[in-house]
Amino acid sequence: MAVLTMSKALNLGLRRAMERDDRVLLMGQDIGRLGGVFRVTDSLQKDFGDSRVIDTPLAESSILGAAIGLAMRGFRPVCEIQFDGFVFPAFDQITAQLAKHRARSSGATPMPIVVRIPYGGGIGAVEHHSESPEAYFAHTPGLRVVTPGDPASAFVMIQQAIASADPVIFLEPKRRYWDKAEVADSSELASSPELFSAQVVRVGTDLTLATYGPMVRTCLQAADAAAAEGKSLEVIDLRSVSPLDIETLATSVERTGRLVVVHEAQVSFGVGAEIAARITQQCFYHLLAPVLRVGGYDVPYPPSRIESHYLPDLDRVLDSVDSSLAY
């Protein structure tokens, strides 16, 4: 066991995947000599060479287009998009080509491509460096969308994503890059939770908090604060946005009778709305209160000086918890 930040855990996971399979290669802006803006790919070009860790031009559509061609030839590209808001020039390649090619070829041509995207706010950055685009990709059939909430999950999940035959949008919560936790450096992934499975990270009895990515830590803090007031909250890290592990979530809600979904992205038309609809349908007779959602406001991401007013925080989560428990 080693104590690592999430960025170091991702770096180690990429390293293990590259050691295991020489078809794995990394592509992105400034990921080689610089090691990436957040240093996730630090030293990998030095150790694996510039034919496997490739500094690309500033052209996201070209990065994804080249990766699709490489996947057709048997490689397993991992593309880094430098910031969340920069993914949109590649949106057509991702949604119209990458997502559909395996189905279009009747399964003959898999697309084992991982698109790494640092996402979310909380680091004092500008608009296009602080967005949460997960709903766009979750709405696109053929894509898998996952996001780790802690360093241990990040280390395992990046390796599992690279091993997947389907394209994976791998969202990395940038404000958690420097969070530290114990990580087991093991090449044995068979005993790890499946990539698309949710995990109960805190057991409780009164209400279920469902969350992912940057909000996992916030929800655990909310559970601690609620416990001081005699309330027992169960926290589920969804880990996978698409597909959703509804069974794990439904099992929890059937016990607690209440659900609050928390994410950083805007509430309207978001992941929380999908979860609310499906849990209401599946667990209708178990629910003691409506499913509530906590998220960003329906406005463009604000200037960094006021982002703390936009982002869901401990108080907003606890307010929704109190509202649910009041029914």
CB 134 within 8 A of CB 145: yes
- The dihedral through the CA atoms of 319, 224, 200, 175 has a sign that is positive
**Is residue 307 within 8 Å of residue 126, measured between CB atoms?**
no
Cβ–Cβ < 8 Å for 65, 58: no
Length of the chain: 327
Contact in structure between 125 and 82 (CB atoms under 8 Å):
no
Residues 6+ apart with CB under 8 A from 255: 205, 234
CB-based contacts of 199, cutoff 8 Å, min separation 6: 153, 193, 236, 237, 239, 248
Quick one: CA torsion of 127, 130, 131, 134, rounded to 10 degrees? 170
The DSSP secondary-structure symbol of 98 reads I
Alpha-carbon gap, residue 79 to 64, rounded angstroms: 7
Give the residue numbers marked as catalytic: 129
Other CB atoms closer than 10 Å to residue 278's CB: what's the count?
A: 15
How many Å apart are CA 311 and CA 174, to the nearest integer?
A: 14
